[in-house]
Amino acid sequence: GRLDVRVPTRGRGELARLSASFNAMAEAVQRSEERQRRLVADVAHEMRTPLSNLRGYLEGLSDGVVEPSRELFASLHEETLLQRRILDDLQVLALAEAGDLGYTRAPLDLSDLAATTATAHRAVAAEAGVTLTADAPAPVWVDGDSDRLRQVLGNLLSNAIRYTDRGGQILVRAYVADGEAVLSVRDTGVGIDPGDLRRVFDRFWRADPARQRATGGTGLGLTIAHRIVTDHGGTIEVESQPHLGTTFSVRLPALQA
Ligand code: ADP
């Protein structure tokens, strides 16, 4: 049970106003405690899976039930890397939520960002049998933190690769529309159910935990991307058709040349 610390606010005048603002404060504190409680519960849940996989392997090895092999050690290694990524992502998210991410903003060309980030991901895309193309012919200037916006685009590209089957295509674009700078990533992948679209930015939400785990996601990439874009005064949107593909669009205030 939760303690209700609110005070009665009947009547008018100074005392009623004080009571009302005290209640608003008490509710804000309770909401923030509730958020923290949920975060801890979510994190514990997320860390439990890779940890119990690790424990299972290690127990099997020491009981002699599991034969040591190169694949087994590679898989153990992969589990530790996943835990590391979850913790790294959580740290970024916690810093961002506390307003301590310390953005270093400067004029930045999104077309340049699109081209270089696409190049960086092309090898991974090729390995997944996916073609990755950048269409960013003209400079698109914004005032932004280049490392953090690169992280946003990197997350969108990793997802596009992760959720697109072999033979698929990914297109990264940077352009100006209605006075806004736009960065978009379109894929011909598995798509997202209409009912799930609102949830993709939620912490640890994923449509298909098995696919997501197999491809090394943390369930935090879009939560972090959303946070960084919002902190830049921008928006991030998603459109999708199941089995046809998905487009994520980041809109930022354009910087006048
Ligand atoms: P992760 O990819 O690590 O699971 P994200 O926060 O980046 O975490 O994405 C959350 C979920 O949104 C994914 O698990 C997936 O179900 C869905 N998703 C994200 N990007 C795409 C995409 N391009 N195509 C289809 N589904 C996607």
Ligand 1 centre distance from Cα of residue 152 (Å) = 13
Residue 1 has pLDDT above 70, yes or no: no
pLDDT value of position 14: 87
Q: CA 214, 161, 95: angle at the middle one, nearest 5?
A: 80
Q: How many CA atoms lie within 13 A of 191 on its CB side?
A: 11
- Contact 89 CB / ligand 1 (< 6 Å): no
Residue 151 has pLDDT above 90, yes or no: yes
Count the neighbouring beta carbons within 10 Å of the beta carbon of residue 28.
10
Asked if residues 176 and 244 have their Cβ atoms less than 8 Å apart, the reply is no
Out of 159, 199, 224, give the residue to mutate to test ligand 1, the one with the largest number of ligand atoms within 8 Å of its CB: 159
Ligand 1 centre distance from Cα of residue 178 (Å) = 28
Q: How much is the ipTM here?
A: 0.97
Asked if residues 149 and 108 have their Cβ atoms less than 8 Å apart, the reply is yes
- Contact 168 CB / ligand 1 (< 6 Å): no
pLDDT value of position 239: 98
Q: What is the mean pLDDT of residues 204-225?
A: 83
Q: Whose CA is nearest to atom 1 of ligand 1?
A: 219
List helix spans (H) across 98-109.
Answer: none
pLDDT value of position 208: 81
Q: Which two tokens stand for residue 154?
A: 């990197």
Q: Please tell me the distance from the alpha carbon of residue 236 to that of residue 222, in angstroms, as a whole number.
A: 10
- Contact 160 CB / ligand 1 (< 6 Å): yes
Bridge-partner residues for 204, per DSSP?
Answer: none
pTM reported for the whole predicted model:
0.84
Each residue's pLDDT tens digit, 33-90:
888 888 888 888 888 888 888 899 999 999 999 999 999 898 888 888 888 988 999 9
Q: How confident is the model at residue 176 (pLDDT cuts 50, 70, 90)?
A: very high
The tokens 């303690």 sit on which residue?
A: 3
Count the neighbouring beta carbons within 10 Å of the beta carbon of residue 235.
13
Residue 22 has pLDDT above 70, yes or no: yes
pLDDT value of position 223: 94
Residue 162 has pLDDT above 90, yes or no: yes
Per DSSP, the residues of 28-90 read: HHHHHHHHHHHHHHHHHHHHHHHHHHHHHHHHHHHHTSS---HHHHHHHHHHHHHHHHHHHHH
Each residue's pLDDT tens digit, 96-150:
888 888 899 999 999 999 999 999 999 999 999 999 999 999 999 999 999 999 9
Long-range contacts of 186-190 (CB under 8 A, 24+ apart): 186/160, 186/245, 186/246, 186/247, 187/130, 187/160, 187/163, 187/245, 187/246, 187/247, 188/164, 188/244, 188/245, 189/160, 189/163, 189/164, 189/165, 189/245, 189/246, 190/163, 190/164, 190/165, 190/242, 190/243
Higher-scoring residue by pLDDT: 247, 219 = 247
